[in-house]
Structure 1
Amino acid sequence: SRRTHEVHAAESVAYLNRALVRLQDIWEEIGIPEEQRLQRTNEVHKHIKGLLDLMIAEEEELKRRLLKSIEACIKELKSLCSELQLPPFEEEEGCTMLQMEKNSRTRLELMQEHKKQRMEELKGLISKDTELCGILCTTPFCIDQNSIPSLQQLKTYHAYLDDLTKEKERRHEEFVSLKKDIIVCMDDLEQHPETSFETDVMCEDEEAFCLSDENIAALKLLLSQLQDRKTENERRCSAFRTKIQELWERLHIPQEEREALSEHMVTSKKRNIEALQAEVERLEVLKIQSMRSVIESIRAEIALYWEKCFYSQEQQQAFFPYHADDFTEELLNLHEAEVKTLEKYYIDHQELFEGVTKWRENWTLYLELDKKANDPGRFNNRGGNLLKEEKQRTDLQKSLPKLEKTLKTQIDAWEQEHDKEFLVNGQKFLEYVQQQWEHHHTEKEKEKLERQLKKTKQTQEDMLYGTAKRTPSKRRIAGTPTPGKVRRGLGLRTPGHGKTPRLLDRNKENVSHLRNTPSGALRSQDTQDHTFTFNSFAGSYSDFAVMWFYINFVQTTKTNP
């Protein structure tokens, strides 16, 4: 403090005075003259004054250096804060010169360390950027390499390099995948690298390959070209195999010769193509040598397609070469072209043809089942098929109209699309279906009429000549009286009080089914029962008269209900 300073100054002055008094005493004791003592006193004064001046000068120099250091630090701090884009340095109030110098110097060292770290980080980022740009062939990140980057610039640079690294990894994965596919294709094609680029792809280290957009695009193009060649080879092999199969069948090539080519019937490499092509050429020579048999084989195929496509006679006869007998190569070419035309026509309309075929198969089955339903001998079946057949017939009777409706929709759409009629055997299919139904109904009515005429004729013959005694079946039907048990001399009974003869005993498995049989599908059970009763009981004239009255009564009731 100032008081302490004053105390120190007073002590210094007192010491100086004591020192001068002591010096005077020493000089006096020595006997130095007054004049010399005065001279020595002046020397002491000069010495003390010089020492103090020197000390003051040194302290002044220290002050000057401190001020200069503070000024330089503050100046450099301002510059660094500006470069580092940090808030400007602010001096603390109330600090001494030494404290201020220390604070500014410490802050300066910290800023310099920040600068050093940022520059080192920038250097590392630039190095990584250069490496990635070399691999991806991209332009380096735009940044001044000599100036201190801001924190935001470094953050942006990091994000850019992260994206670039991800792009490198993506391209590398794509390159590895493309390279793998290219190697497989070249192996399948039995092809070796032809250009320097293909050599680089096949042989160069994966890490050293330039993953530029242009190189990736070139890889994709190369793979596409190889795949196109591979596809073309597969297409050629498929065509050769199809041709070979056709010629094998037409030329009736033995199985032993076919198996010799089995190893080339699966893969589609270069050697397979050459082998298949050689086999086609060999078979073509054989085909020319066996022209007649080949043409006849093709004609069989044409006839099969005619049947599948429901060609009419007029359509079949329109292909005149079919009936030619000059077996030349020109005729063979005409037949081969016709087979391809028919095959394409069938494939284009396969769904429609299969629907028509299905309808015809179902229609044929329905007619067979309907014919069985009208067969009197069906009741002798004890295998349970009667019920199954009737159920199947009923299902077909329901499904056929649905199938016809579906086919009508398809045919209408086809005719609208192709602007022509869809013919089956030269006739519109729906007209053909309608004719089949009409013909079926006509045949049913005809059969019904024939049964009625036959029944009438039989009745007339029985009236004129009597009932012929029929040979009894081995197995007597339950409830049927034996001739010995027939009552004779029966009086005439009125229809209202007469007892109805017992019905035939039927198979238990068919009883419920016969009750549900539609009218007209099966022969009337009443008629069967009455015919049986007539044949069984008409043993005498009186019995005949009774039964004749009963039959007339039943027929009259059916005619006039």
Structure 2
Amino acid sequence: MSEVHAAESVAYLNRALFRLQDIWEEIGIPEEQRLQRTNDVHKHIKEEDGCTMLQMEKNSRTRLEVMKEQKKKRMEELKGLVGKDRELCDIMCTTPFCIDQDSIPSLPQLETYRAYLDDQTKEKERRHNEFVSVKKEIIVCMEDLERHPETSFEMDVMCEDEEAFCLSNDNIAALKLLLSQLQDRKAENELRCSAFRTKIQELWERLQIPQEEREALSEHMAQSKKRNIEALQTEVQRLEVLKMQSMKSVIEAIRAEIGLFWEKCFYSQEQQLAFVAYHDDDFTEELLNLHEAEVRTLKKYYEDHRELFEGVTKWQENWTLYLELDKKANDPTRFNNRGGNLLKEEKQRADLQKSLPKLEKTLKAQIDVWEQEHGHEFLVNGQKFLEYVQQQWTHHHTEKEKEKLERQLKKTKQTQEDMLYGTSMRTPSKRRIAGTPTPGKVRKLNGTSTFSTPTSFLSSGLGGTMCQSSIQKTPLTASKVPSSPDSSH
């Protein structure tokens, strides 16, 4: 009987050892550790630790139960991770994690799987947030375009159940493309509306449309939805009909606008005459088109050179004011002023006397840059602006010298009459004792010029007395070209 028991024990131990090896292999224990564990089993069988066979059997059973429990937990966790992986794959259309679902996973495998699913979960949240954000913009665009979902994809996007939308890379890309297309269409509508509004404003002004009619369209002048486009287009068509019915008045209104631009752009007489249609009295649609094209050209020309034109205008305004103040400064009646404006005007004249050359210098620098960029001269009233400025200063100096000479001749003549006839020739208001000179005047008869004028950085020194000149003061306007100074001075 003892031999039978021994044989059974050996058979049991062999089966147990084989089973252990299978378990070790299933749970992924490396070959080296399996050998070490086999050696430990052999030691137990040889009773090297002093344990009985019954104790060894008990210990083996205990370890087997522990391993079974570990296997159960790992397989349950693996099942849960696989289920979560499938959900994420369904939502994002991704490939499942590569792992053998029938084998017991090792601890490192489970850790890697958990990290992978964490990353996938974060990616899902990112895509969902992006979907929600883009969807809101799409809804706004569709409302502005007064458009409803047309394709199945658009219906999926506009569906209230946001969790049901597939967050695949292709869907996210298609979502962004849809938004881009809607935004482009919205931008096109806004451009169309802007063009309609510009046209409407121009026609309103030219046709003198009453304010109450304009206010009726106020809502459509602010928004760019589909119904606004239709309303604006209808208004343009209505105004075009009115324009054709009142062709003459419209063309005359455009001509007035052209005249203003000629003045703002300082067009010369030759430049104005180049637009022959301006003097055509056959008021046809073709003539209207020519005038509208000319207005567009002038507007662009003015905008392209606005900075220079504004600088020239500023110089002209300051120059005109300076001449007025300088004329007042030489007016004998200026001392009758009791309002305190004399000092103010004199200070203003002195400031302009300093600022005008500075402004001229700035304009010269701007004109030099402009001419280098465009490869031709910058003309004002058909001539170089800087030449015009020099002519104005030269003319001003000449006039000052001429006025001074006239005053001197008048004083000399009066003195001679006083010396010849006494005081009987003088009017009562200017009566004084014969032979008594006027203080501060007689001493200046043979002196040099006592007035001072600003010297332009462009002007050369003027020597001698300028008593004759054919230069006429020419305002900087669109219809006149400044004349050149007469060589006789």
Partner of 2:344: 388
Q: Distance in 1 between matches of 2:397 and 2:221?
A: 55
Whole-angstrom distance in 2 between the partners of 1:548 and 1:443:
25
1-structure distance, mates of 2:203, 2:438:
76
**How many angstroms apart in 2 are the aligned matches of 1:217 and 1:397?**
67
Contact 1:415 1:422 in 2 (8 A): yes
Structure number, greater radius of gyration: 1
Provide the identity percentage: 74
Output one character per residue of 1:459-492: Cα deviation in whole Å (capped at 9) or x when no partner. 2233233344754xxxxxxxxxxxxxxxxxxxxx
Structure 1 122/430 Cα, relative in aligned 2: closer, same or farther at 3 Å?
Answer: farther
Counterpart of 1:75 in structure 2: which amino acid? Answer: Q
How far apart in 1 are the matches of 2:316 and 2:221?
38
Structure-2 residue corresponding to 1:33: none
C-alpha spacing 1:100/1:550, structure 2 compared with 1 (3 Å): closer
1:233 and 2:189 equivalent?
A: yes
The residue aligned with 1:334 is: 290
Q: Distance between the aligned counterparts of 2:282 and 2:445, measured in 1?
A: 73
Q: Matched residue of 2:266: which SS?
A: coil
**Contact conserved, 1:66 with 1:101, CA < 8 A, in 2?**
no
How has the CA–CA distance of structure 1 residues 548 and 341 changed in structure 2, closer, same or farther, with 3 Å as cutoff? Answer: closer
**Matched residue, 2:110:** 154
Instruction: Kindly state the Cα deviation for residue 332 of structure 1 after the two structures are TM-superposed.
Output: 0.7
Distance 1:342 1:403 in 2: 26
Q: 1:548 to 1:400 in 2, by over 3 A?
A: closer
8 Å contact 2:27–2:71 — kept in the other structure? no
| 1:371 counterpart (300, 324, 327) | 327
Aligned partner of 1:194 in structure 2 is: 150
5 Å-filtered alignment, 1:81-480, equals 82-83=28-29, 87-88=33-34, 90=37, 91=40, 94-96=49-51, 97-203=53-159, 205-467=161-423, 468=426, 471=429
Aligned partners of 1:123, 1:102: CA distance in 2, in Å?
A: 32
Distance 1:182 1:400 in 2: 58
TM-score of the superposed pair, with normalisation by structure 2: 0.81
Q: Normalized against structure 1, the TM-score is what?
A: 0.71
Between stretches 213-222 and 61-70, larger displacement belongs to: 61-70
Task: Structure 2: state its 5+ residue gaps.
Answer: 449-489
Say which structure, 1 or 2, has more relative contact order (CA 8 Å, 6+ apart): 2
Counterpart CA distance in 2 for 1:242 and 1:85 is 85
Distance 1:382 1:162 in 2: 91
Deviations, residues 201-227 of structure 1 (Å, cap 9, x unaligned): 123521101111211221222222211
Match of 2:466 in 1: none
> Measured at CA, do residues 85 and 64 of structure 1 come closer, stay the same or move farther in structure 2, by a change above 3 Å?
closer
Opposite residue 196 of structure 1, the aligned amino acid is: S
Q: Mark the CA change 1:176 to 1:443 in structure 2 (over 3 Å): closer, same or farther.
A: same
Counterpart residue number, 1:521: none
Structure 2 residue matching 1:421: 3-state secondary structure: coil
8 A contact 1:73–1:108 mirrored in 2: no
1:79–1:385: structure 2 CA closer, same or farther, 3 Å change rule?
Answer: same
- SS at structure 2 position matched to 1:263: coil
Mapping of 1:475-554 within 5 angstroms?
A: 538-539=432-433, 544=435, 547=437, 554=443
Alignment of 1:35-54 (within 5 A): none
Q: CA deviation at 1:144?
A: 2.4
What are the Cα deviations for residues 111-150 of structure 1, in whole angstroms up to 9, with x where unaligned?
Answer: 3333333332222222222111111112222222223333
Match of 2:17 among 56, 63, 71: 71
Judge conservation of contact 2:138–2:182 (CA < 8 Å) in 1.
yes
CA distance in 2, matches of 1:81, 1:143: 14
1:193 Cα offset (Å): 1.6
Partner AA of 1:167 in structure 2? E
Q: Which amino acid aligns with 1:269?
A: K
The 3-state SS of whatever aligns with 2:343 is helix
Distance 1:551 1:232, change over 3 A: closer
d(CA) in 2 for partners of 1:442, 1:282: 60
* Alignment-mate amino acid for residue 49 of structure 2: G
The offset of 1:453, in angstroms, is 2.3
Q: Deviations over 1:48-68 (max 9, x none)?
A: xxxxxx6x5687478547744
Q: How far is the alpha carbon of 1:327 from its aligned partner? A: 0.5
- Higher mean C-alpha deviation, range 84-93 or range 233-242: 84-93
Matching residue's letter, 1:406: T
Structure 1: 5+ residue stretches without partners: 1-53, 472-534
How far the C-alpha of 1:82 sits from its partner, in A, is 3.1
Equivalent position of 1:40 in the other structure: none
Counterpart-to-counterpart distance in 2, 1:264 and 1:201: 30
| C-alpha distance after superposition, 1:187-207 (max 9, x if no partner) | 111111221211221235211
1:82 alignment partner, SS class: coil
Distance, in Å, in 2 between the alignment partners of 1:375 and 1:85 is 121
CA RMSD of aligned residues (A): 2.9
**Larger relative helix fraction:** 1
Amino acid at match of 2:243: K
- Structure 1 pair 408–107 and aligned structure 2 pair: CA distance change class (3 A): farther
Please report how far the alpha carbon of residue 326 of structure 1 lies from its aligned counterpart in structure 2 after TM superposition. Answer: 0.5
Letter in 1 for 2:394: E
- In structure 2, relative to structure 1, the CA distance for the partners of 1:375 and 1:555 (3 Å cut) is closer
Q: Count residues in correspondence.
A: 436
CA 1:143–1:85: 2 relative to 1, 3 Å: farther
For 1:458 and 1:378, how far apart are their aligned partners in 2? 23
Instruction: Report deviation, 1:408.
Output: 2.0
Looking at structure 2, the residues matched to 86 and 375 of structure 1 have their Cα atoms a distance apart, in angstroms, of 121
- Do 1:73 and 1:105's aligned partners in 2 also have CA atoms closer than 8 Å? no
- The answer (yes or no) to whether the contact 2:258–2:298 under 8 Å persists in 1 is yes
